[in-house]
Chains A and B, each alone.
Chain A
Amino acid sequence: GNSVTQMEGPVTLSEEAFLTINCTYTATGYPSLFWYVQYPGEGLQLLLKATKADDKGSNKGFEATYRKETTSFHLEKGSVQVSDSAVYFCALLTGGFKTIFGAGTRLFVKA
């Protein structure tokens, strides 16, 4: 079946460090891929998305590229800030309206 696997957290970085959060998926067909972010006490917000192979999604300095050959959608940011501290979820959308989320990766950024 369809699934999403994310690296386990928490990930702790110093401000201005480089961030990578790994995400791999298993899916039939051609899913769309997403990264959502959840700040403390809030619901999820879409961070970026990619709808076909080789697409790059980007937003607020974050980037992720849809790699069909490696079934991956890793999230990267060149220089993290304290305000980036949150939980990040990788997700895929299959046919219809079924979205499958990864377990989430908590990021702590220290000043």
Chain B
Amino acid sequence: EAQVTQNPRYLITVTGKKLTVTCSQNMNHEYMSWYRQDPGLGLRQIYYSMNVEVTDKGDVPEGYKVSRKEKRNFPLILESPSPNQTSLYFCASSYGVSSYEQYFGPGTRLTVT
């Protein structure tokens, strides 16, 4: 089954404790992206990747890091989480710029206390 998976689905952590949210897709997609969803703000893009070892900032990259060492994986790293990073996070992937549909993972709900 074609899908985007994220882990963990739920995470409660404390300020300053480094964490990683994993994202994996099995569709051989070139493009991957991370979003955060906050009430009243819709989805805002954090980082995206156009291919292995190629990443770029979205609209809200501060406090986040990403890496793309393999085509299928695109982890989101919070080196020192803060309460304002409490949010619902989605990973998405797409075949490429010429194929616009994005496939979304199920989401990771993160709470930073």
Q: Quick check: A49 and B42 within 8 Å, CB to CB?
A: no
Over the window 18-59 of chain A, the binary record of Cβ atoms lying under 8 Å from chain B Cβ atoms (1 yes, 0 no) is 000000000000001010000001111110010100000000
Distance in angstroms between the alpha carbons of A96 and B96 in the assembled complex = 10
Count B interface residues, CB 8 Å.
25
B residues lining the A interface (CB < 8 Å): 4, 31, 33, 35, 40-45, 48, 50, 58-59, 90, 92, 94, 97, 100-102, 104-107
Count A interface residues, CB 8 Å.
24
Interface of B is mostly: strand
Known: A97-B31, A98-B45, A98-B48. A49 touches B104 (CB 8 A): no
Selected from B43, B48, B104, the residue in CB contact (under 8 A) with A97 is B48
Interface of A is mostly: strand
Q: Quick check: B90 and A34 within 8 Å, CB to CB?
A: no
Residue of A whose beta carbon sits closest to that of B44: A101
Given contacts A97-B50, A98-B59, 10 further A-B contacts (CB under 8 A): A43-B104, A43-B105, A44-B90, A45-B104, A96-B97, A99-B45, A101-B43, A101-B44, A102-B42, A103-B40
